[in-house]
Chain A
Amino acid sequence: MFRQARWEEPLVFQLGRKGRRGFLLPRLEEEIEALVGEFRLPEALRREIGPELPSLSEVEVIRHFTRLSHMSYGVDLGPVPLGSCTMKYNPKIAMRYAFHEKLSLLHPLAEEDLLQGLLELLHRLQGWLEAITGMDACSLHPAAGSQGELAGALMIRKYHQMRGELERDEIIVPDSAHGTNPATGTMAGFKVIEVPTAEDGNIDVEAIRASVGPRTAGIMATVPSTLGLFDERALEIAEIVHKAGGLVYHDGANLNGILGRTRPGDLGADIVHLNLHKTFSSPHGGGGPGAGPVCVKDREVVGGVRLPDLLPGFRVVKEGGSYRLRVPSSSVGFLRAWFGNIAPLVWAYVYIASMGAKGLREAGEIAVLNTNYFAHLITSRSKTYSIPYGAGRPRKHEVVISAQRLQEETGVTAEDLAKGLLDAGFYAPTIYFPLIVKEALMVEFTESETKENIDAYAARLLELEEKAFERPEELKDMPKNTAKTRMDNARANHPRSVTPSWRVKVLREKGVISGL
């Protein structure tokens, strides 16, 4: 039976004692003090009262964070089948290199000759990602999927600007898209046009036909979709958008579902971003860092300028036997100050190098098998759970279950089910997404999960379903086996009680600040 640790661990501010220290600096040589004289700063600059930070020994710091880690849950503890998050196992061997000692003092402006081994790695990774996506050129620059998306959207914008088609200010986004797609559209200065999903789970092609026109800049399509379905008409959609003068952007977050069978570049995409922290096994780190390379087709923009010339950041190129960084000639620019997030890039490199093309294909196949096996366990045994859209179609990387009927008949919601899963020692799926599915539970096991765990996960969902009819109030009280019971979200967000830092708590108690 699952019992998460329940340390009553105080905030770090409540630990330690005056005078304790967790770190010693090297001795400051006397000659330095002798030459420089007394430490001094102009009064206008001097901080009068030091920051209210605690004073802890190294022992206390390590114990504190280790205890906190006991109250966290990652892939190394059990299944984290968050749909569209592709929570794969993060191979341990990669850690040695992602945080390699030699990277500690490797300055981002160090001469390229000093880091040929790293550039060779990055250059090869670029090439592998090009082959995997069926695209012609990748940039490893974006720090995460959302930056990859932004790069993609800015490239679409620049493409039309360079062609003098400034009126193209609309970007088409299906209603099943991740929230980042429309948010990115706005950030890139586009008007977002939403199109619906048809009953078969594909994007509504007629709606696309009706939406395109002289103002169409492009489409942001997620293939496979957040419903876990391969869009059978992806190519047709690409043709419609191309014919209208727009570009086709693929959100590659769900690449795992087609790995080994088809590629964005074969499906009419001009631009695609990848999430190396999803498909290529880099860890999520509790929210980040990620890496969101963006790849393009070698398509003409205008007068000799081609899409690869618009890529963001640096490209690694091989010139006369050495590796060099080059900024593409018409780049949309930099999205972060330096090359990219090296640790997840190295991690992904190790993963791909280990698997090879065949290994990746087999990983994709097992991921898809896992999804469909799980979907089968649910649909063949459940009274109320359903899988909306595309009835009878095989799922890809993930499956979206609706608990709408269960909710209507028992009052038990997707959130209650999620909490019930936590109580069994499993992480919950993504819930209430995509928005077009009521009481959605979006499940993605990836290739990393064991059949035993998939069986147990399905059994737990079915057990909860049964319980919902018998004793629904028990589900409302879950979880009980986790470090804490359910949150008071009203209090968490109320302007009078919202507490985003210790400082706010202290200042509010002192009456220095009031509600928001």
Chain B
Amino acid sequence: MAHPWVPNSAEEVKREMMKALGIESIEELYSDIPSSVKMSPEEWDSLPVGFGRTLSEQEIRRHMDDLFAKVEELRTPPFMGGGVLPRYVPEAVRAIVTRSEFLTAYTPYQAEISQGLLQALFEYQSLMAELLEMEVVNSSMYDGSSALAEAFLMAMRVTGRKKFLVPETMNPRHRKVVETYLSAHGSVMEEVRVDRESGYLDLEDLGKKLEGAAAVYLEYPHYTGVVDVNAAAVGEMAHRAKALYVVGVEPVSMSILKPPGALGADIAVGEGQPLGLPLSYGGPYLGIFAIRWDRELVRQMPGRIVGLTTSRDGDEAFTLVLQTREQHIRRARATSNITTNEALMAIAAAAYMSLLGKEGLAELARHCWYKSHYAAKRLSEVIEAPLLKGDFVYEFVARLPKTAREVRRELLRKKGILVGIPLEGHAWFGERDLLIAVTEVHSKEDIDLLVSSVKEVL
């Protein structure tokens, strides 16, 4: 029987094509596969793949609905961040990224017929450039962590050095990814102390370790949620030591915080998920990668870039630019092996930034600031929150009277609330420390419920 997704599986069509080729059986097209490694159709068909037969759409739907019924819905959105944030996804963003002209397109290698896609990606780059005050943004990396790893590899190429200074409180998952990427290059990360009261990077310790560094990395905000007041000073110190300054951002808060461009960052990276992308259990996300206007940095930058040019008719037009950095041209000497990226997610972010605009993004950041501070203040009635004194926008560390894991488990079991990321084993934090995130998806009722529930389980 013909399959709906395989038009030429209709017997009559297949026959016609085989006749044109002068073959009796499709098998003849596989005559070059030695029989010692060839499976018979019967052997192949009996592989444990799928459900033993072709399923209709209705059957698939029933099956998939059953599976998704086994994904629990909770009473409140999770009070969890840790490099991503729960965020409301506007329907307009969903409508735009599910436009099949975007969704089913390939990388826009043929510019003339892909102008809309190219313009959307150029707009992503441009909106991000304004948000970060950085001049060149690529059209996406896989996620925040791989963007950071690529930033370090780039810093290695630019400086010829192999040492990276990172805050001791650095996002542990990002650190793991960087370790993987650096593992083949004999380069190392060295921790810089973070002040246990404020959560700020210890500048004295940084000063001692600076010599020979390829890059200094600052999370902004820190993994702990703290926004470092010394962010500009760190950059100055890095530059005095001829190291690159790499700043890792949460994009929405850049609408109210001094952006990396104003802090003297050479490279800004970050997780773009908070720009209107679903949490989706870890992906697809959006790796932000931006640099300042500098010839050598541009030359060493990884990833695809869309640029503005003109067409032969003199119209403004868009095309992929500076491709001589990329793998399909430079092969073993490319700046990165990245090919597929997260273009659709970049379009989602562009749509989100366009919807919220200059005022909306700042309002959203302030809204989250209010709600997280409200949560911290209310929680401080029962527990120590916030533990660190530096200011924050979304996330803060709380210290509980019992172990964080236990409290968390109880809250989930008894109240159906998911709260925080236990910090045990991270930097100097202990088993009672919990990283809590609050954003616009949490209503006052949600936060009040969290507070009363914490009271109950303690």
Contact = CB atoms under 8 A, between A and B. Distances in A.
25 contacts: A21-B359, A23-B90, A32-B371, A53-B130, A72-B108, A72-B114, A93-B57, A106-B281, A117-B71, A143-B340, A179-B329, A183-B336, A287-B121, A287-B341, A312-B180, A353-B55, A353-B60, A357-B47, A370-B8, A451-B7, A485-B315, A487-B309, A488-B310, A492-B321, A502-B130
Nearest to B77: A105
A372 interface: yes
Given A26-B443, A286-B108, A338 B281 contact: yes
Contacts of A447: 5-6, 8-9
A443 interface: no
Contact of B293 (A13, A52, A260, A513): A513
Contacts of A66: 96, 99
Interface residues of A, number: 209
Contact of A448 (B5, B101, B281, B339): B5
B332 A192 contact: yes
Interface string B48-62: 111111110100110
Nearest to B315: A484
Given A73-B113, A261-B38, A486-B311, 5 more contacts: A354-B5, A356-B49, A368-B26, A500-B125, A504-B136
Contacts of B83: 337
A305 B48 CA distance: 27
Given A72-B116, A369-B14, A179 B321 contact: no
A12 interface: yes
Interface in B60-96: 60-61, 63-64, 66-74, 77-78, 80, 82-84, 86, 89-90, 92, 94-96
Contacts of B181: 187, 335
A451 B13 contact: yes
Interface string A338-354: 11111110000010111
B370 A286 contact: no
A123 to B, nearest CB: 11
Contacts of B363: 25
Contacts of A65: 96, 99, 120, 347, 351, 354
A230 B34 CA distance: 10
B45 to A, nearest CB: 4
B17 interface: yes
Nearest to B58: A93
B158 interface: no
A205 interface: no
A225 B39 CA distance: 20
A77 interface: yes
Interface string B334-350: 10111111111101001
A262 interface: yes
A23 B369 contact: no
A483 interface: yes
Given A61-B355, A427-B113, A433-B328, A150 B337 contact: yes
Contacts of A342: 280-284
B34 A235 contact: yes
A499 B308 contact: yes
Interface stretch (B159-167, B227-235, B425-433): B227-235
Contact of A179 (B103, B313, B327, B443): B327
Contacts of B73: 102
Interface string B355-369: 111111111101101
A117 B73 CA distance: 12
Interface in A78-102: 80, 82, 85, 87-91, 93, 95-97, 99-100, 102
A426 to B, nearest CB: 9
B80 A109 contact: yes
B28 A394 contact: yes
B240 interface: no
Interface residues of B, number: 211
Nearest to A95: B98
Contacts, number: 717
Interface in B1-55: 3, 5-9, 13-14, 16-18, 20-21, 26, 28-34, 36-39, 41, 44-55
Contacts of B14: 366, 369
A451 to B, nearest CB: 5
Nearest to A41: B391
A106 B337 contact: no
Given A187-B336, A343-B284, A13 B126 contact: yes
Interface in A41-77: 41-42, 44-48, 50-56, 58, 61-62, 64-77
Contact of A338 (B129, B282, B350): B282
B107 A287 contact: yes
A378 interface: no
Interface in B289-304: 293-295, 298, 304
A443 to B, nearest CB: 14
A172 interface: no
Contacts of B61: 93, 96
Interface string B248-263: 0000001111110010
B123 interface: yes
A376 B230 CA distance: 68
A182 interface: yes
Contacts of A39: 366, 369-370
A230 B32 contact: yes
A443 B322 CA distance: 26
A246 interface: no
A337 B145 contact: yes
Interface stretch (A277-285, A296-304, A403-411, A464-472): A277-285
A482 interface: yes
A361 B45 contact: yes
Contacts of B322: 493, 498, 500
A76 B125 CA distance: 26
Contacts of A213: none
Contact of B140 (A73, A288, A333, A334): A288
A127 B47 CA distance: 11
A501 B258 contact: no
Interface string A491-515: 1110101111111110100000100
Contacts of B258: 44-48
Contact of B280 (A106, A263, A312, A365): A106
A336 B50 contact: no
Nearest to B128: A501
Given A107-B80, A422-B112, A495-B295, A25 B229 contact: no
Interface in A131-188: 131-132, 143-147, 149-150, 154, 157, 173, 178-180, 182-188
Interface stretch (B169-177, B188-196, B208-216): B169-177
B309 A491 contact: yes
A73 B332 CA distance: 31
Contact of A53 (B116, B127, B311): B127
Contacts of A329: none
A11 B359 contact: no
B230 to A, nearest CB: 8
A210 interface: no
A427 B355 contact: no
Interface in A374-426: 376-377, 393-394, 418-419, 422
B115 interface: yes
A288 B28 CA distance: 36
B421 interface: yes
